């Protein structure tokens, strides 16, 4: 739950309603199904994917760190802000970013993720020197 006790679905629903949008309008703008929007808002999907949270935050004008906290992707405000910065900087067209995401999904720690990312950056830097 977020810092105010709201779930991710409650935050998304409140922001959607503030804009006067239906679940269908929200899901269309996100390229998701209306069923997805309904499940998120009712708790059927308690923690949407990080990249999706980033898109939702941007579209609805919600603080991404609040969504990260409410989705239980972080345990403190400081770590939620760090996760939010990582989400905002994620470039899905970058193969290194996609590889890091895959590594992370396999249950590796934050330190493992940073090490893999640093290694890939060093490899890329070596290629640029050639």
33: phi > 0 → left, psi -120 to 50 → alpha, else beta; which?
beta
What global pTM score does this model have?
Answer: 0.68
The per-residue pLDDT for 75 is 84
The per-residue pLDDT for 8 is 92
The per-residue pLDDT for 129 is 56
* Fold of the CATH domain 1-90: 434 Repressor (Amino-terminal Domain) (1.10.260)
106: phi > 0 → left, psi -120 to 50 → alpha, else beta; which?
alpha
Smallest Cα–Cα separation from 122: which of 44, 101, 114?
A: 114
The per-residue pLDDT for 90 is 72
DSSP, collapsed to helix, strand or coil, labels residue 101 as helix
The per-residue pLDDT for 96 is 67
User: For the chain, which residues score pLDDT lower than 70?
Assistant: 1-4, 91-93, 96-98, 100-108, 127-130
The per-residue pLDDT for 92 is 65
Tokens 């994620």 -> residue: 90
The per-residue pLDDT for 105 is 66
């Amino acid at each position: 739950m977020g810092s105010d006790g709201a779930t991710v679905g409650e935050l998304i629903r409140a922001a959607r309603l503030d804009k006067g949008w239906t679940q269908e309008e929200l899901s269309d703008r996100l390229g998701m199904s209306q069923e997805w929007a309904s499940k998120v808002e009712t708790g059927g999907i308690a923690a949407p994917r990080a990249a999706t949270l980033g898109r939702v935050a941007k579209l609805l004008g919600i603080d991404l760190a609040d969504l990260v906290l409410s989705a239980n992707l972080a345990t403190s405000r400081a770590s939620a802000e760090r996760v939010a910065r990582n989400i905002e900087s994620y470039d899905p067209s970058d193969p290194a970013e996609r590889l890091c995401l895959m590594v992370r999904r396999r249950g590796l720690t934050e330190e493992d993720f940073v090490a893999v990312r640093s290694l890939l950056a060093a490899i890329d830097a070596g290629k640029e020197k050639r």
